[in-house]
Homo-oligomer: A and B are copies of this chain.
Amino acid sequence: MCRFVLYLGPEITVSSLVTEPVNSLIHQSFHSHEGTEPLNGDGFGIAWYVPAISEEPALFKDITPAWNNLNLLNLARVTRSSCLLAHVRAASPGLPVIQLNCHPFVEGPFAFMHNGKVGGFPSLRRLLANRLSDSAFNTISGSTDSEYLFALFLDNFRRLNEENDGCAAMAEALAASITEVEQLKKEAGVDEPSTLNLAVTDGRGAAVSRYISRGVERANSLYLHTGTGYTCRAGHCLMEAAETGRGAVLIASEPLSEDEGWHAVPPNSMVITGRDLQVTTVSLDSR
């Protein structure tokens, strides 16, 4: 289990997601409310976009728990962006806690993160590798299912982007990657269910899935919160013009703050945020 949050909208500080809200990502790192376990202390990462300098996101990851990382506190306090991602990790048993296995992963303009697991991944790792283009395969530095999923997404995006604008291609590539990995499990006779809460962004739009394999009861939690801006004052954080406004989007494993307007994303659906920061929710087939 992991916990994540993605923000698109007017510039805010990283601290508005990571330290200030009552259920901030740092709070979730030691006491998450809706995870299958409360502890997410196996490393963390943040990514943020600075469009004036580069279309490639900046990345800060470390293997220590988020709650005691002084560098993270410093960065969170002074770093502002209109597109932010943050992730705290609970490592799968047996998987090493190394910086490169921490999320988000970045490649070109994309940042990607995952909460959940690919069912039966050890039996699928080789099959997944075989499907990847050389360039996607060579982006893989570690050994997690999440990094293989991102490589699959990169190949699907390249293929789909030729006939779509970038934002729709991003959403379609994410859905196609889910379909592909679930199809592969069937071919390989793998029964273990997958939980694929995946988030991908290019800094201007985003696609975030809440997915669980067919026949399984409980998808990992995911919430959507929209309005005109997310503000924190004296430890009190809220979305302004929640529900009615437009232009700021928060998608998070758990509500960060106690204000109204956090809605659970339905299982097996995908939240798409377009260039205009309009949000739509579409169904994903459960396989």
Interface of A toward B, CB cutoff 8 Å: 13, 30, 39, 41-42, 48, 50, 53-54, 58-65, 67-68, 70-71, 74-75, 77-78, 80, 91, 96-100, 122, 125-126, 129-130, 134, 137-138, 140-143
Contacts and interface: CB of A to CB of B under 8 A. Distances in A.
A136 to B, nearest CB: 10
Contacts of A134: 126
Contact of A70 (B96, B125, B143): B96
A59 B72 CA distance: 10
Given A30-B41, A68-B42, A141 B142 contact: yes
Given A48-B78, A60-B74, A96-B99, 19 more contacts: A13-B53, A41-B41, A41-B67, A50-B78, A53-B80, A59-B71, A59-B74, A61-B71, A64-B64, A64-B97, A68-B91, A70-B99, A75-B75, A98-B98, A100-B142, A126-B129, A126-B134, A129-B129, A130-B130
Contacts of A97: 64, 68
Contacts of A30: 39, 41
In this complex, the member of A61, A68, A122 whose beta carbon has the largest number of chain B beta carbons within 10 angstroms is A68
Looking at chain A's contact residues, the main secondary structure is mixed
Nearest to A39: B30
A39 to B, nearest CB: 6
A39 B77 CA distance: 26
Contacts of A96: 70, 99-100, 141
Contacts of A122: 138
A99 B59 CA distance: 19
Contacts of A126: 129, 134, 137-138
In this complex, the member of A65, A77, A78 whose beta carbon has the largest number of chain B beta carbons within 10 angstroms is A78
16 contacts: A42-B65, A42-B68, A53-B78, A54-B77, A59-B70, A59-B71, A60-B71, A60-B75, A61-B71, A64-B64, A64-B97, A70-B96, A98-B99, A130-B130, A141-B142, A142-B143
A58 B98 CA distance: 19
A90 to B, nearest CB: 10
Nearest to A61: B71
A262 to B, nearest CB: 26
A94 to B, nearest CB: 11
A65 B65 contact: yes
Contacts of A62: 71
